[in-house]
Every structure is written in structure tokens, then in C-alpha cells.
Amino acid sequence: MLRSMYSGVSGMKSLQVKMDVVSNNIANVNTVGFKTSRVLFQDIMSQTSGSSSAAGNGLGGQNAQQVGLGVQIGSIDTVHSVGAPQTTGRELDFYISGAGYFVLRGAGNDGDAMNYYTRDGAFVRDADGNITNSGGMKVMGAVQNPPVEYNDAFELDSISATADNLTTGGLG
């Protein structure tokens, strides 16, 4: 009886985590560039209650008897599929129709500059003509070392890691 209780409790705990992930996905359904998550489950352990036997006397063998002891969260994965593009008509709205991220440069918690990665392609020009996101982080080039900063000499083909999957005039 204790094994069945433990299996039920572990299943309920795992399903609570799945409901939390689904709730987060629903809460962010209108967030530009949001990537949905999914939960994968795995067995905790199985207890062998009967041993296996080999075939003999014209009969097949017998498999071992096992009782599962519950379930646990195997992983919570981010699904990187392409979202539905939305036409905005703005010259600096981009979406990536494949793999990759926009690289932004901004100040970290300690004040030092660091790179951030996003799929939100709603960009604007700042007072100096630099292309930035709404938070003022400068748009950088493809993932390279060191990153290239874009300003008036902005080249559309260089903004993402793979230039052939970048489209202008919409968000996705």
C-alpha cells in the first residue's frame, strides 16, 4: 500500500509542475518572442518483485515482474519552434523565421556591458542613430567575437546568426 501511495503522490507533484509550466505558457501567449516550454516525465525507479526465467521444455521464458515507484520531472524544455509572424509595417520590426537570436548589448547588474539574447525584434533608433530595443540596449551583429555594433551603416543581412532567416516588417 505504501508503494501505491508514493506513486500517486509523486504523480500529483509532477502534474503540479506541469500545470505551472502550462500556466506560464498561457500567461505569455501575447508576449513577443516568447518561447513555450514543455515538461517531460521519467520513472523514479522500479522494484523487481519476481525474477525472470529462461526458456525451456518447449516453453518461452518469463519476464521479471516490476512495480513502478513513481514519476519525476525529467526536464523542462523550451520549444524553439517559429511563432506566427504579425505584419506591423514598421521598418525596424524583424522576426527570425528559423533558429537564432538577436544579440543585444546592455549593462549587467554590476554595471559592466554584457550580451543579452532575444527573439523580440521590435527595434527603434536612439538619438545617436543606433538601433536599439525599447530598453535602450544596442543591437549587435551575429554571434562573433567581438560583437559588431550597428548604427546608420545598418546592414539587414548581418543582424542574426543566419541572415537568410531574417524578415523585416513584422514580429513573430
- pLDDT tens-digit profile of 87-115? 788 888 887 776 677 888 888 778 788 88
Q: Which of 52-61, 133-142, 147-156 is least confident?
A: 147-156
pLDDT at 160: 37
C-alpha cell at 104: 543585444
What are the backbone dihedrals phi and psi of residue 7, each rounded to the nearest 5 degrees, phi first?
Answer: -60, -45
Query: What end-to-end distance do the CA atoms of the chain give, in Å?
Result: 51
Contact 164, 100 (CB under 8 A): no
Mind listing the pLDDT tens digit for each residue in 68-88?
Answer: 788 889 999 988 777 777 778
114, 104 contact by CB (below 8 A): no
Q: What pTM did the predictor assign?
A: 0.56
Nearest CA-CA partner of 17 in 68, 57, 75? 75
